[in-house]
Structure 1
Amino acid sequence: MEQLFLASGGKLRARWREAFPAARVFSLIGDIPDEAARLQQVVWLDITGLDVAQRLSRLREVVASGYRVVVMSATPAEAEAFEALNAGAVGYCHVEAAPEQLREVALVVAHGGLWMLPELVQRLMSVSLRVMSRLAPEHPELDALTARELMVAEQVALGASNREIAGTLDITERTVKAHLSVIFEKLHLRDRVQLALVMNNVPTATSVN
């Protein structure tokens, strides 16, 4: 899938180009070809230098145009992340994220998932636990997971990144990604955010059989 970037000045950063050699960058939402919206393409929105009102206005405009949006921030913060997701973004990451991480974000979003920085997943999980504390917890059926898959899932529940999981379990990041793909399929989940919530007995929109 083609990757489209929206940034003031229309400059494609080196890391973006390294992650997606065929990526295109635009200065204004109106410059993006109409067919991209019809295909529900992903637009990476660089909010560097924008104040709160500007970034919300820009984000809402892009979402309303039919795109799935990943917000890119120079100074990622919890409040800004939740603000972006609440306004319709499907992803939130650092504007200078490593190319490998950008490709990981693209893969998750392309499959209908939600992507956030691992540390923010932990924050979201904590907030959700407080909000749902009075409800009877769900107990996901985890018997389908192997011992290693369960260990990976438990690390995600703690908010660990793929690199941290690899170091803790003495496996490669590629293996971690492979385990996560299998876990999502077995538990009928879309992304690590849902997995973290499920592992902590917080009900999600996706039920687990």
Structure 2
Amino acid sequence: MTHLLLYTTDENIVNNASIAASRDCEVVFDLEEVLSYLPTEVMLLVALNERMQQAQIESLIEKEYPIILLSNLPTSEEALAWFALGVKGYLNLYANEERIRQAIDAVQSGSIWLGQSVMQALITQATSQPKRSESWKKQVTEREEETLKLVMLGLSNMEIAESMHISERTVKAHISHLLEKFSVKDRLALVLCIQNWQDEN
């Protein structure tokens, strides 16, 4: 099983982050201790704070550590900036443990965790731009189109399954087919692909 690490430079974070109380989560304060693990051995939660340098996180991204950022003041702008650099997930530092676990499961399955606020920011950004072509719909089945619309609303696999009255396994299959059809590697890239779709695609 992947070792779960919470990396922070602020000891007060331990009292506030619900995941820190988890029995299988190890809290570390030293970057060198994080680097003692191979990227394939850990799932890394990084609690952002004023004393943490961006360069520290970028160095971990460059070494291909799977990173979920926990921000005490999350914004869609900050999230999109970090996703562009290569993090796999982003959510509120004070999110409950169940929500954090959902993010961890998503990243471990090879996806990314956007959260509804980030996805909504993307949607708002798209709707403020000139209307895009919807010719992409010709490439998908009716159920795949329905799945994609729910993905673009920021719903998790579980929430999509409940909305469509299907199993999570079927949702994952639909998303896998969509990623393959549009030649993208994750949900964020899929959403951006559809938002910026042009007929020459």
Greater alpha carbon shift after TM alignment, 21-30 vs 81-90:
81-90
Comparing 73-82 with 105-114, greater Cα deviation is found at: 105-114
1: CA distance, partners of 2:105 / 2:133: 30
Task: Tell me the secondary structure at the aligned position of residue 52 of structure 2.
Answer: helix
Deviation at 1:112, TM superposition (A): 4.1
Q: How far is the alpha carbon of 1:120 from its aligned partner?
A: 0.9
Tell me: CA distance 1:179–1:69, structure 2 relative to 1, closer, same or farther (3 Å).
same
How is 1:95-134 mapped onto 2 (pairs within 5 angstroms)? 95-127=93-125
For structure 2, the 5+ residue unaligned runs are none
* TM-score between the two structures when normalised by the length of structure 2: 0.69
Q: Residue 6 of structure 2 contacts residue 45 of structure 2 at CA under 8 Å; is this kept in 1?
A: yes
Corresponding residue of 1:84:
82
Deviations 1:9-52 (A, max 9, x none): 2838443555xx42222011112252324x374311001xx23x
Task: Identify the range of structure 1 (119-128 vs 70-79) with the bigger mean alpha-carbon deviation.
Answer: 119-128
Instruction: Give a deviation string over 1:148-197, Cα, whole Å, max 9, x none.
Output: 33212122234455576567556677875565455445655433223323
Report the AA paired with residue 30 of structure 1.
Answer: E
Answer whether contact 2:137 2:145 (CA < 8 A) is retained. Answer: no
What residue identity is the alignment partner of 1:190?
K
**SS of alignment partner, residue 11 of structure 1:** helix
Question: C-alpha deviations, 1:48-73, integer Å up to 9, x for none?
Answer: xx23x734243224334542322111
The secondary structure found in structure 2 opposite 1:71 is: strand
Is the Cα contact below 8 Å between 1:158 and 1:196 reproduced in 2?
no
The residue aligned with 2:7 is 6
Q: Post-superposition shift, 1:79?
A: 2.3
Any conservation in 2 of the 1:15–1:98 contact (CA below 8 Å)? yes
Secondary structure of the corresponding residue to residue 124 of structure 1: helix
* RMSD (Å), alpha carbons: 3.8
Which residue matches 1:155? 150
- Give the aligned residue type for 1:110: Q
Q: How many residues align?
A: 195
Residues in 2 aligned to 1:177 and 1:17: alpha-carbon distance in whole angstroms: 30
Deviates more, 1:136-145 or 1:25-34: 136-145
CA contact (8 A) 1:152 1:180 kept: yes
Find 1:15's aligned residue among 15, 19, 37: 19
For residues 97-137 of structure 1, give each alpha carbon's deviation from its aligned partner in whole angstroms, at most 9, with x where no partner exists: 33343233223333443322222123235546778x69x96
* Separation in 1, partners of 2:41, 2:86: 13
* Partner secondary structure for residue 43 of structure 1: strand
Cα distance in 1 between the residues matched to 2:41 and 2:84: 19
1:32/1:159 Cα in 2 relative to 1: closer, same or farther (>3 Å)? closer
Give the counterpart letter for 1:44 in structure 2.
L
Conserved 8 A contact 2:3-2:41 = no
How many Å separate the matches in 1 of 2:35 and 2:57? Answer: 18
Whether 1:196 aligns to 2:199 is no
- Using structure 1 for the length normalisation, give the TM-score: 0.67
2:38 partner SS: helix
The 8 Å contact of residues 152 and 176 in structure 1, kept in 2 or not, is answered as yes
Identity %: 23
**Which runs of no fewer than 5 residues in structure 1 stay unpaired?**
none
Q: Secondary structure at the match of 1:102?
A: helix
Give the 3-state SS of the residue equivalent to 1:25 in structure 2: strand
Cα distance change on mapping 1:64 and 1:151 into 2, 3 Å: closer
Query: What residue number does 1:93 align with?
Result: 91
